[in-house]
Amino acid sequence: MMKRMSENKTLARIRLILQDRRKLLVAGLLIFVLAIGTFLRFYQLGATGDGNLYYAATVKSMLASWHNFFFAAFEPGGSISVDKPPLGFWVQAVSAYILGMNGFALALPNALAGVFSIFMVYTLVRRPFGQWAGLLAALALAVMPVAVSAERNNTIDGLLVFVLLLAAWAFLQSVYTGKLRWLLVGAAIVGLGFNIKMLQAYLPLPAFYAVYFFGTRQKWWKRFLNLTLATVILLAISFSWAIAVDLVPASSRPYVDSTENNTVMELIFGHNGIERLINFRQGLGLDDGGNGPQAGIGTGQGLPSGNLPQGAPPAGQNPPSLPQGRQTGQFTPPAQSSMVNPTGQSGGGGSMDFGSAGSLRLFTEPLVGEASWLLPFVLGGLVLLVIVLWKRPFDGKHAALILWAGWLLPETIYFTYSSGLMHAYYLIMMGAPLAALTAMSGWALWELIQKRKLLGWGLAFLLAAGTIIFQAGVLKGTSSAAPWAVGIAVTLLIAGLVCAIVSKFRVRFSPMAIALLMVAMLVAPALWSAQTTFNATPNTALPYAGPAAVAMQGMPGGIQGAGNGNGSGNSNAGGNQALLDYLLTNTKPGTYLLATDRAQDAATYILETGRPVLTFGGFLGEYQEVTVDQLAALVASGQLRFILSSKVQQTQELSTWVDQNCTIVDLPRLTNATNSTNNLPANQQQGSSLYDCGG
């Protein structure tokens, strides 16, 4: 008896030692995965400039005053807002206030959010499917190319994804614990996400609600009641800022960009709503497909007539001081003629970086390299997951399947068939569910292998091999490293096959076999992500995954440099510096440096000087956000003197006023550095003219 007790104690100690070692192994692997994700997102972060200049200028303007901060003003004078809600930019502004106004500080919140998202996916998958599945999901998201490209930029989509993952965790907690408070917390977090990118935050909301409705053990009537209460909280938080802004008189706040009636509600359901589904303006022929937006029909009521907008410094005073740290150097704003239609549509109806709507959109250029690397495996794995879980009692695995499939499938349909305004980096919304479902599909294959080995292994190799063949087709001809990546993936696949065969005699080789298959499918996206990280000339205006040569495919002419923080799209640096010197010499501190057609064109001037810059038509240039009377009053009061315009695009009345009251400035110093025999000023060669309305 004593001998048996001693043996039992020894076995128990061995189990504890093995469990401790497994915990240490899992912890070490998780740290390794997080290190990979951190490196891909942080290596040379911000080295290529300030990122998307429209957003960067917004952050700098928000730091000029509390008024600008609350209303998310695009320019320091507070005349117009950015076309997004403020929460994401508030976070960036705090980062820039602490670290200085530079590319690293602007991209830091997004990069941190990306690393935290990797851990969140691990946590969400680990609980129902185990720690190995959690590690695989984390690794898949760590090397997801679209996540790497978007989270190395100052776009706010990475922050939104992290917030939505927090919401998903809260909704699942409400199912696991049965406590109402987690449901309400989840709804509140989605409301915060709404204040990052508006309706985009609602894309996974049906999946969140379905998780609670089918997962909770509450009575049916109580489920409806609790979801109703959660919806009230969701809407209250979502629309709190919008209602607060719209209640402020138009004369006391910035004009709401990309709207005709100067309301945030219109921005929510118009430019950031229905236009994301169907581009009505193009369908009606109101946009000219790449030659610049046409006249808008707005009211222009956001700019107080005859006065600097609220938040601008008084005339004759310097603009408010801003945190230092931005490396200025040579001033190189993008050439006016290089700007393309900011709706993302190029001439002839083709799309800039997201292809044409259709069933194969996600499997062909230009979107295939963003998030589709694992999509064939996941689509097959979803069917297997349903089969494996069909007859099992409802538990956390079913709730997870509802969550991730309900998140991924509607977005897959949306990104496949939407004809509205979008960009390639929006596919970051698919990253987390793709990563989670990859790991869950691996778990389902393992379950099948335990019951029917031949069928399970056959299906595992069919899905893995098919996915790798698809990936090889995507990589073909893209870079010198592509053959190596395919070779490594095939080698791992063959090694997995050998381990599977050996497992018939040595069972311990089975886990190694399935692990090799899963890792083999991650080689190609890992290469693509690495090439994204090491791309020294990324498109910072519109983040795009892959090496430099591929990242610019489908980009019309100047978009490669338009909006880039490093000004790579402009070869006339000296002339632009002369233009800036001329403007600074001939305008008073505290007044408008100049006026431009669009906010895009004004961003570089704002970042370089911190001075107010008036924009006639906002980001898109298609809304009349300044009236003739307001323009005349600003010129008469000495608050505005110069207009830089390729053509005054808003109305014939505004254009006529400029022609009658302003003269074109001829500055010999602005000759084009790339064509010294041409005596035209550089701003005229670029298709734009500098008008002097007060000289």
pLDDT digits (tens, 9 = 90+) for 614-664: 998 878 777 777 888 889 999 999 999 999 887 655 567 788 888 888 998
Q: 318, 645 in Cβ contact below 8 A? A: no
The tokens for 624 are 């009349």
Rounded-to-integer distance, Cα 286 and Cα 566, Å: 32
Q: In the structure, what pLDDT confidence band is assigned to residue 695 with cuts at 50, 70 and 90?
A: low
List CB contacts of 195: < 8 A, sequence separation 6 or more: 85, 86, 87, 237, 238, 240, 241
Q: 306, 634 in Cβ contact below 8 A? A: yes
Q: 607, 333 in Cβ contact below 8 A? A: no
Window from 99-113, 358-372, 406-420, 661-675 with minimum mean pLDDT: 661-675
pLDDT at residue 343, rounded to an integer: 35
Least Cα distance to 41 among 140, 87, 108 occurs for 108
Rounded-to-integer distance, Cα 404 and Cα 87, Å: 26
Task: Give just the sign of the alpha carbon dihedral 428, 434, 439, 440.
Answer: positive
Rounded-to-integer distance, Cα 16 and Cα 23, Å: 10
Rounded-to-integer distance, Cα 589 and Cα 76, Å: 12
Q: 205, 187 in Cβ contact below 8 A? A: no
What percentage of residues in the chain have a pLDDT greater than 90? Answer: 62
Q: 103, 87 in Cβ contact below 8 A? A: no
Q: Where are the alpha helices (DSSP H) in 145-219?
A: 145-151, 157-177, 180-197, 205-215
φ, ψ for residue 43 (rounded to 5)?
Answer: -60, 125
Task: Give just the sign of the alpha carbon dihedral 658, 660, 662, 668.
Answer: positive
Residue 18 or residue 203, greater confidence: 203
Q: 510, 449 in Cβ contact below 8 A? A: yes
Rounded-to-integer distance, Cα 43 and Cα 34, Å: 14
> End-to-end distance of the chain based on CA atoms, in angstroms?
107
pLDDT digits (tens, 9 = 90+) for 401-414: 999 999 999 999 99
Is the predicted pLDDT of residue 686 greater than 70, yes or no? no
Rounded-to-integer distance, Cα 312 and Cα 297, Å: 26
Domain extent for 688: 573-692
Q: How many structural domains is the chain composed of?
A: 1
* 648 within domain boundaries: yes
φ, ψ for residue 179 (rounded to 5)?
Answer: -100, 135
* 229 within domain boundaries: no
* 56 within domain boundaries: no
* 80 within domain boundaries: no
580-593 residues labelled b (16+ CB within 10 A) or e (exposed): bebbeeebeebbbb
* 562 within domain boundaries: no
Greatest Cα-to-Cα distance within the chain, rounded to the nearest angstrom: 109
Amino acid sitting at position 521: M
pLDDT at residue 565, rounded to an integer: 39
Is the predicted pLDDT of residue 297 greater than 60, yes or no? no
φ, ψ for residue 172 (rounded to 5)?
Answer: -65, -35
Amino acid sitting at position 601: D
pLDDT at residue 623, rounded to an integer: 72
Secondary structure class of 320 (helix, strand, coil)? coil
Q: Is the peptide bond before 319 cis (omega within 30 degrees of 0)?
A: no
Least Cα distance to 254 among 64, 51, 50 occurs for 64
pTM for the whole structure: 0.86
Q: What is the DSSP letter of 81?
A: B
pLDDT at residue 8, rounded to an integer: 63
Amino acid sitting at position 399: A
Window from 214-218, 488-492, 655-659 with minimum mean pLDDT: 655-659
The tokens for 140 are 């898949």
Least Cα distance to 456 among 384, 400, 375 occurs for 384
List CB contacts of 1: < 8 A, sequence separation 6 or more: none
Q: 572, 674 in Cβ contact below 8 A? A: yes
Least Cα distance to 440 among 518, 364, 337, 326 occurs for 518
Proportion of the chain in helix, strand, coil states, percent, rounded to 5: 60, 5, 35
The tokens for 659 are 């022609």
Looking up tokens 């998030």 gives 371
Rounded-to-integer distance, Cα 614 and Cα 597, Å: 9
The tokens for 352 are 């800039």
Strand pairing class (642-645; 594-596) = parallel
Mean pLDDT of 525-549: 91
Q: Mean pLDDT across the chain, nearest whole number?
A: 83
Is the predicted pLDDT of residue 67 greater than 80, yes or no? yes
DSSP string, 547-605: -HHHHTTT--GGGGTTT-TT-TT-S-HHHHHHHHHHHHHTS-TTS-SEEESSHHHHHHH
Mean pLDDT of 146-159: 96
Rounded-to-integer distance, Cα 531 and Cα 468, Å: 19
Q: In the structure, what pLDDT confidence band is assigned to residue 13 with cuts at 50, 70 and 90?
A: low
Window from 278-282, 386-390, 470-474, 485-489 with minimum mean pLDDT: 278-282
* 42 within domain boundaries: no
pLDDT digits (tens, 9 = 90+) for 217-238: 899 999 999 999 999 999 999 9
How wide is the angle at C-alpha 565 spanned by C-alphas 617 and 322, nearest 5°? 80
* 494 within domain boundaries: no
* 18 within domain boundaries: no
Q: In the structure, what pLDDT confidence band is assigned to residue 17 with cuts at 50, 70 and 90?
A: low
